[in-house]
Chain A
Amino acid sequence: MSGIALRRAGDRGAMLDLADNAAAVRVARELSAAGLFLDVVPGHRTVLVTWKEEPPREEILTLATTALAGSDDRAPAQSVEIPVHYGGPDLDDVAQMCGVSPEEAVARHLAADYTVAFLGFAPGFGYLLGGDPRLTVPRLAAPRTHVPGGTVAIAGPYSGVYPRDSPGGWRLIGATDATLFDAAQTPPALLAAGDTVRFVRA
């Protein structure tokens, strides 16, 4: 076996446990391209698949094994640049928690190459991995009820951008004018799992 654990997720779904995010992204791409499923949802280290009627269980494992064994010859993921005005309400706290100046915290956030691990929480919200591990801060103990759309935030291993006004528990360090989600566009989300992202000064 290829180290893939398959768990049930309701009567019309299955959850694949994978070794890491790169595996999850590859398997999700393969399963999605097969066109057999209602939804194919990568997580941090998982892929959830759902279907309408007959369970394509055997195909799931076959496709996942192929994805992990073969070379990934699908269209390369896109690279996205997100211009940021740094200086969110939590930047000073983040710097203090990490024992650096706010300028150094920003420099570390700018220096990293990020990968979109998966999307969730809200339409177009990408969970970005690859940030500087020295910039790891916990989520707020009590989430804010209102975070403006376009806010750049960090929490745990992730960076992200709030696509629209919403509640939020991450630490706010900047803002962007980039549109993360627009249902009228194709594709509607700026980011897709597997994309690489760099933050640049606006």
Chain B
Amino acid sequence: MTEIAVVRGGPLTTVQDLGRPGWAHIGVPPSGALDREALVFGNRIVGNDPSAAGLECTLAGPSLRFGTRALVALTGAESNATVSGRPAEANALVRVAAGEVLELRGCVRGVRAYICIRGGIDAEPVLGSRSTDLMSGLGPPPLRDGDTLRIGTEPRASPDAQAAPPAPRPEVPVLRVVRGPRDDWFAPGALDALCASTWRVDPASNRIGLRLSGPTLERLDRGELLSEGLVTGAIQVPPSGQPIVLLNDHPTTGGYPVLAAVHTADVTLAAQLGPRSRVRFAVSK
């Protein structure tokens, strides 16, 4: 049986691959693994294509009983994982025998852990992706206790147990931002204020956006911005003056002005920031 029984789904465990870019013009968010680097690394360890679907675990992980033997990699946040009680090493090839239970606990050093299984998670693709989009309701629903997951077909490539893990993440990451596109909707000094402050992550953050609290970013009184397209990483500022960094399940258009946008490569750093952790920004070219 190439199936996995979900003993416990965990607080929020979703199927994620590299998402469904290319559909923003009809209102479909990009979705996909928030810590893309961690998913790609896990897929590499088990020999999957980088775009194979894995599980994204939020704050804590699930408990999974394997119906078949499997090769697994655990990446992203550390989760004190065990296989039938034995500690399972992170960022390494983990062998699970048929009937064994893989269990992830609370995440440390980040809030999103990834489970990549050789063959990938086989769910019905929607617009070319198996990712769960929590805003639009596309893709498979989050894991619930008692669900069954299917493992996909064996890839051709061999596992790569020697793959070097991504560099450890700093405790207070500095995200590089590009100014604009609507920096002219803000009081002079708003961008400096963004970059001079240490921001705290609000617990209301989710896959749609990282909500930050800190000094108020002053907007100019220019009325309402007409709705326009939004990139992942856009730093949107609602009337409260408290910024929101848009993550993968963000709406494709919006009417709050965007002061600056986080570099594509740094959005993965934002993905590992949990409630009350801190973050800084720096302007880059």
A residues apposed to B, CB below 8 Å: 7-13, 15, 28, 32, 38-48, 50, 118-125, 127, 164, 181, 183, 187-189, 192-193
Contacts and interface: CB of A to CB of B under 8 A. Distances in A.
Interface size class of B (residues with CB under 8 A): 35 or more
B32 interface: no
A8 B138 CA distance: 30
Contact of B178 (A10, A38, A42, A127): A10
Contacts of B262: 10
A84 B262 CA distance: 42
B253 interface: yes
Given A32-B25, A41-B24, A9 B263 contact: no
Contact of A42 (B180, B229, B263, B265): B229
Instruction: Give the interface centre of B24, B228, B284 by most chain A CB atoms within 10 Å.
Output: B228
Interface stretch (B7-15, B42-50, B85-93, B230-238): B230-238
B163 interface: no
B122 to A, nearest CB: 18
Contact of B228 (A39, A48, A123, A192): A48
Interface string B166-180: 000000000010111
Contacts of B227: 43-44, 118, 120, 127
A188 B26 contact: yes
Contacts of A41: 24-25, 229, 252-253
A188 B182 CA distance: 31
A31 B232 CA distance: 20
Given A46-B228, A120-B252, A121-B253, A9 B181 contact: yes
Nearest to A37: B22
Contacts of A123: 23, 26-28, 136, 138
